[in-house]
Amino acid sequence: MRVVAAILTLVIAGGCNVTPLQEDLDPASVGGQAVEYYVPPTSPLGGVMSDLLASAKADVLKLSLPVVQGSLGGTLEFVTSECELEIPVFDLSAEVLDSKLQIAASMGTAEVTVPLEVYTEGELLRACFLQVNAPERDLHVQLAFCSEPENGPALVVDGAPDIVGMPVTAELDFDCPQQPGSEVQSVVIGSVEDIIQDSVLGFASGLEEVAGDAVGVNSGAAGSMEGLVDFLMLPDSAAAEMGAADLRIGLLGGFESIRAPCVPTDAADLPPSVEPPADFPERVPDLEVPYGLGVSVSKGFLSQGLAAAYRGGLLCRRAGAGDLSDVRLDDLFPSLRALGSLSAVRAAVWPGGQPEMEFTTPDPAAGEDLPRMMVTLPRLTVDIYGNLECTDLRLLSVTADVLVVLAPRLENGSLAFGLAEAHIGSMDINFSELLDESDEDLRAGSIAAAERVIGRLVADMGLLEVPRPACGGGDLLKSALEGGRILLYFAP
């Protein structure tokens, strides 16, 4: 179950704590459209980018005015001191328009008093001040996809940024000496204009990264889960596009594993299964508020991940993996009480066949908003151990066809799993040496014990952080199952 969680984390997120891979996966294991991000026209990208800039403390341009010197006319010369100038950026807006991401922002008025020293023939004559004023300006930047197939898609500045506004002015103290031919205003203004220009260009370049974070261009991951399953999920250059008013990014994805000793020898990886991308523009979800991000996940991609997890041994668990808290057995098997005080139940889990996964709609009455995951685990063996006076004793071993229905949910941005249902079928009891129940009681108790252990294992999976493209950083508004994909709609 942990694997499924990890897969979903990757899927929704495009990022988790993983070990970077040194080598890519075999291309034959990787398919396109494993995951899709869709940014609708209603996505408030401007606000999202403003928040990103603010959190990075990049919503204020901080300019350093260098020392400049020149002539004040005649024998008079001036030298300015270094000083700082701050220009706030506000009213940032961004929207997809005609296959470009159009970004506009206002740059606030900035004023600074520049100290200035006046010299004559090398001797300091007096100190003055120059009042510099940079009036409010408007910035327009246009980003477009620049697809480098080997590097994945990227948003880059398309054309020169457009800066519109009144020019910088500079006013010298009225009693500061200057003579005809003084160049103080022109030199200082020219210097400030150059610095503002450079800074704005840098800011525009920085918007590439911010926009990439907002829409998911910079998402994706490649690595290894516990060294057993290698995976890759990266934005695909060929599947990144902007339309008239929306944007979509398809991600390549795949899983590979080497068969672990704990799984049957016939375990096999699955090829990538590629479903067509969801046609988000045609699907208008019944929502009361506009959504910021649509995510669609290929079921085939998840199934491939589950198969790789199975083959790589991530579904195996040995008894030494740790105690299962709060699992009681003596109420199911009263004969255990004769053994004494059993503590610390442990479990070993051994999958016996290729698992399969399906999805069903969530149960809103149970507070569920993500599709339920039905995982079939054929011929799963569960060994249950109890600890009696520092001795781990196998109390029960059963092999059964197990159907686990998981109810995933998002909690504060992290993914958690609940066990909605567990069904144990075709059960064989392999071992029950220390139990003294009747066959009927043993069977009933074994089913209940297996359900408890599976429930505990699911509960112990813990929370998994689920980072998302920033334009979908809000609550999950709705989920849907359509075709071969899971659709998720997130608030901005």
Partner 1 sequence: MQQRLWILLAVLGAVAVISGCQSGVMMGPCGDGCPEGTVCDFETGKCVQPRPPDCPKDLGRYLSVASDSTGRTIFSSYTTDYGDLVVGSIRSDSTMNCEYVDGLGSDVGLYTSLAVDQLDRPRVAYFDRSNGRLKYAEKTAGGWEVVTVPRTGSGDNVVGRSCSLALDSDGLPHIAFLDETAGTLNVARKASDGRWAVEVVAGADNGDWPGTLGGEVGRMISTVLDTKDREWIAYRDIHSKSIKVAGRQPDEWSIIEVEADTDLGSWVSAALDLDGNMALAYHDRDEGVLKYAWNQDGSLQKTVVDTGEETAENGAVRKRPVGQHCALAFGCDELPRILYLDGATLELKLVVGKPDGGFTEPEVLSSEGAVGFFNTLAPGPDGLHAASCRYERNQEGDIQATMVHFRLDAGISTWRGRR
- List residues near partner 1 by CB under 8 A: 261-266, 318-320, 335, 338-341, 348, 350, 352, 381, 383, 385, 389-394, 397, 431, 433-434, 436
CB-wise, 164 or 338, nearer to partner 1? Answer: 338
How many of the other CB atoms lie within 10 Å of CB of 367? 10
CA 197 – CA 192 distance, rounded (Å): 8
Nearest approach in angstroms of CB 394 to partner 1 is: 4
Helix (H) or strand (E) holding 100: strand 100-107
Q: Which is nearer to partner 1, 207 or 348 (CB)?
A: 348
Which residue number, 325 or 341, has a Cβ lying nearer to partner 1?
341
The answer to whether 359 and 299 are in contact (CB under 8 A) is yes
Which of 411/433 has CB closer to partner 1? 433
Distant-in-sequence, close-in-space partners of 187: CB < 8 Å, separation ≥ 6: 68, 69, 70
Q: Minimum CB separation from partner 1 for residue 317, in Å?
A: 10
> Least CB distance from residue 328 to partner 1, whole Å?
18
Amino acid (one-letter) located at 174? F
Q: At a CB cut-off of 8 Å and minimum separation 6, what does 235 contact?
A: 152, 153, 216, 217, 219, 220, 249, 250, 251, 252
Angstrom distance (rounded) from CA 397 to CA 48: 53
Instruction: Output the smallest distance, CB 320 to partner 1, in A.
Output: 4
Nearer to partner 1, 198 or 389 (CB): 389
CA torsion through residues 404, 405, 410, 411, sign: negative
Residue indicated by tokens 């450079």: 198
- Rounded Cα–Cα distance for residues 487 and 277 (Å): 10
**Distance between CA 403 and CA 378 in Å, rounded?**
8
Beta carbon of residue 302, minimum distance to partner 1 (angstroms, whole number)? 24
Q: How far is the CB of 351 from partner 1 (least distance, A)?
A: 8
- As measured in angstroms, the least distance from the Cβ of 148 to partner 1 is 45
Cβ 52 to partner 1, closest distance in Å?
42
Closest CB 261 distance from partner 1, rounded Å: 4
Q: How distant, in Å, are the alpha carbons of 259, 385, 459 from that of 381?
A: 18, 13, 19
Compute the half-sphere exposure of residue 252: CA atoms within 13 Å on the CB side of its CA.
21
Q: Which is nearer to partner 1, 213 or 383 (CB)?
A: 383
Q: Which residues contact 466 (CB under 8 A, 6 or more apart)?
A: 8, 9, 12, 13, 410, 413, 414, 415
Residue that the structure tokens 């016996």 belong to: 352
Closest separation in Å from C-beta 268 to partner 1: 13
Among residues 219 and 432, whose Cβ is nearest to partner 1? Answer: 432
Phi and psi of 275, rounded to 5°? -95, 155
Nearer to partner 1, 100 or 259 (CB): 259
Q: How far apart are CA 285 and CA 104, in angstroms?
A: 29
240/309 with CB nearer partner 1: 309
Q: What's the token pair of residue 94?
A: 């961004």
Dig out the tokens for 38 from the structure. 């869709």
Q: Which of 182, 399 has the CB closer to partner 1?
A: 399
Closest to 310 (Cα-Cα) out of 265, 272, 355: 355
